[in-house]
Amino acid sequence: TLMRSSAASDVYKRQPQIWKYSPLGGLFFIWILVNSFWCRQLLPLFFVYPPPFVSFDAIVKKLSAVEALGNATVICSDKTGTITENKMTLCYTSSNEAIKLACLCCDADEEKGEATELAIVRGARDKGYKKADLEYNMPRVYEIPFSSERRLMTTVHKSNNDYLAISKGAVEEILNICKKTKSKDILKEADSLAERGLRVMAVAKKISSTIIKEERDFAFVGIIALADKPRKGVDESVAALSLIHI
């Protein structure tokens, strides 16, 4: 049985202490409840006399919801913000130039923005590159926004008498707009980082005397990798579910 974790919409939980830091702990309890013979026989009592059930910090609205959860063999859960903290941090950069340019190619600032870009901007700050200073020296004059189809974004900045275009995005897509790159070595490095559970991005640049409006003939700059740490209790939850073959 395939069951999303959101299937527990009919089971209201108030963060029980034993599962307080465990996002999947409530499902584990319900599985035990439904798969226990005596619990199944006594389950209706919990609807007539809810206080004992409430002591587990869960109130069931529909019996069918509990039965469905108890029969689940697979739980599909969103990762970001559910399994992880949704607090990304920079943990690797192949060069200082890569993080510096990636910072310029972000819409976020140090205080607000999308989680991935926040991690890039703050990571650049920790390495001595403040976005405000970078933008003051190289103001943005043009951009090609990110899209899920292209999987990259490009910004163009005035740099002295020239224009500097910066692209950041999926490694494969960045390589597609670059020339004269050691693609195999780059992809091998990216795969190695991805196997560690990191979010990997690549950065490329192009300099021209005119505003650059096409993403081609870029020069590869480097790779950056971001980590989103698991929430407290996730390891214990996964281990508990593994014991009951979920």
Query: Using one digit for the tens of pLDDT, what is the confidence trace for 172-221?
Result: 999 999 988 888 999 999 999 999 989 999 999 999 999 999 999 999 99
Contact 232, 25 (CB under 8 A): no
Higher per-residue pLDDT: 23 or 66? 66
Residue of 163, 162, 144, 165 lying closest to 153 (CA atoms): 144
Q: What are phi and psi of 42, to 5 degrees?
A: -95, -5
What the block records as the tokens of 116 is 């991935």
SS (H, E, C) the chain: CEEEHHHHHHEEECCCHHHCCCCCHHHHHHHHHHHCHHHHHHHHHHHHCCHHHHCCCEEECCHHHHHHHHCCCEEECCHHHHHEEEEEEEEEECCHHHHHHHHHCCCCCCCCCCHHHHHHHHHHHHCCCCHHHHHHHCCEEEEEEEECCCCEEEEEEEECCEEEEEEEECHHHHHHCECCCCHHHHHHHHHHHHCCCCEEEEEEEEEECCCCCCCCCEEEEEEEEEEEEECCCHHHHHHHHHHCCC
Contact 101, 166 (CB under 8 A): yes
Residue 6 reports pLDDT greater than 50: no
Residue 4 reports pLDDT greater than 80: no
Q: What is the pLDDT of residue 187?
A: 95
pLDDT-based confidence at residue 27 (cuts at 50, 70, 90): low
* pTM across the whole model: 0.67
Residue of 124, 113, 134 lying closest to 89 (CA atoms): 124
- Digit-coded pLDDT (tens) for 50-81: 555 455 566 667 777 777 777 788 888 887 77
